[in-house]
Amino acid sequence: MTEQKIVTRFPPSPTGYLHIGGARTALFNWLFARRHGGTFILRIEDTDQARSTDEAAQAIIESMQWLGLDWDAGPYFQSRRYDLYNRAIDQLLAEGKAYHCHCSPELLEEKRSAAKARGLKPKYDGTCRDLGLGPAPGSVVRLKCPATGTTHFDDLIKGPIRISNEELDDLILRRSDGSPTYHMAVVADDIDLGITHVIRGDDHVNNTPRQIQIYNALGVPTPYYAHVPMILGPDKTRLSKRHGAMSVLAYRDMGYLPHALLNALVRLGWSHGDQEKFTREELIETFSLENVGKSAGVFNLEKLIDLNAQYIRETSDQDLAGLLAPFLDAIGIRGVPARQLEAAVATLKPRSRTLVEMADAARMYFDETLAYEEKGDKKFLVPEVLPHLEDLARRLKVMGTFTEAALEDVFRAYLGERGIKLKEVAQPLRLALTGRTASPGLFEVMVVLGRDEVLRRIDRVLRHIEAKR
């Protein structure tokens, strides 16, 4: 491994949202740079003006920020760097390493068809290569690629890779509309930004020899390449939406914590012994390309859900309350006092797998018009419980401190006097307070609601039961 300062980059195209595969690539680049005290760069590859959108670019940036993958430089936008690419192309033209090609698209199609008919690879035959042509309307600029020999590189994950130059043709560097091609822009950018390691998906392996040839023509040393394996669904087919291959922001909106998603992503193709969960600091300390496997990683949504639930349980009540607030806002619950929200979160997090689930469960605390579960209403909210609820309400009204311990004493005394068991009053009271037959501990719920709200809800259920008579 080189001793030079490491510089990595993540270069998404803003033709759509950031998905799981791209997020993992970003994470590996970020971790590698952080592990070695290097620089991580964000570059937006928006040269495809027909398909690129500002909305997608902003969504990518927002996704990176949510994941906590901070960059040291950028974001650079390729659409604003054409001068850099054109200087590199002009240099190659001046040095005789590139040439103007006047072959029309129709002629090129005829050449491809003829080559296929003869059983040959349908590549450009070099018609204009040595004609010394100048620029012309509709012309392109091509690289003079070596016609013999091999282009090879030592992939840091896959090992040595060799491609016969006869398999490649004189690739286009500048299109007929004057715009640079993907390969030209990538190489010029990577040179300008000092990229030392290109870590990307193995669907880019075939691009690497072409880009190496541009490096060679420009007389610049190539970076190290590391192509990470693809991500598969549980059925071992290419990951798709049916497996959960949604955008990063979709996972955010479904209530996943960013570190849970990062932890799930890093384990897709990388391992550190048998360890499954990592803090951010542990990831930076232990990540290495040597431990990235050659086989595809399998994305399992159920594992992510389980991991998310673990991280929810381990997050402090204060931090979790801050994360939950936007989800409550989305369902119309606003202005909850911070202390009450933290108290509610403490009761909900042992049972919540996502923040969406937690927000839904929190309705019982903050929705003053909650409905009673129909089945529980019929079974437990019956006239026989009226005396119990009325008597308990009187005792709650005059008790001292409204704590779990104090509530337990009040109920123990009441049950002893009446000679009944807690279950005879617990479910009617639970329904009165939460609208549900299942909830966190009854005394926990009462403390979160507060005495006044508890009494208001008991009064409401008393009127509800009376109305059913």
Catalytic residue among 5, 116, 121, 241: 241
Contacts of 205 (CB under 8 A, 6+ apart): 155, 158, 161, 227
Q: Which of 33, 26, 28 is nearest to 8 (CA)?
A: 33
Please tell me the number of Cα atoms within 13 Å of 211 on its side-chain side.
23
CA distance 413 to 236: 61
Residue with token string 């998905």? 19
Cis link prior to 160 (omega < 30° from 0)?
Answer: no
Q: How far apart are CA 245 and CA 233, in angstroms?
A: 9
21: CB partners within 8 A, 6+ apart: 201, 230, 231, 239, 245
Cβ 15 vs Cβ 245: under 8 Å: no
Among 122, 114, 207, which residue's Cα sits nearest to residue 169?
122
Contact 191, 160 (CB under 8 A): no
Q: What is the rounded CA–CA span in Å between residue 434 and residue 431?
A: 5
CA-to-CA distance for 279 and 259, rounded, in angstroms? 8
Tokens of 113: 């068809």
Residue tagged 């004189």 (tokens): 170
H or E segment to which residue 9 belongs? strand 7-10
Task: Provide the CB-side half-sphere exposure for 417 (13 A, CA).
Answer: 10
**Nearest alpha carbon to residue 23 among 198, 291, 248:** 248
Q: With the C-alpha atoms ordered 336, 339, 344, 349, is the resulting torsion angle positive or negative?
A: positive
Q: Which of 64, 69, 41 has the alpha carbon at shortest distance from 193?
A: 41
- Respond yes or no: is residue 241 known to be catalytic: yes
Give the tokens for residue 284. Answer: 């930076």
Considering just the CA atoms, what is the radius of gyration of the chain in Å? 32
Catalytic residues: 241
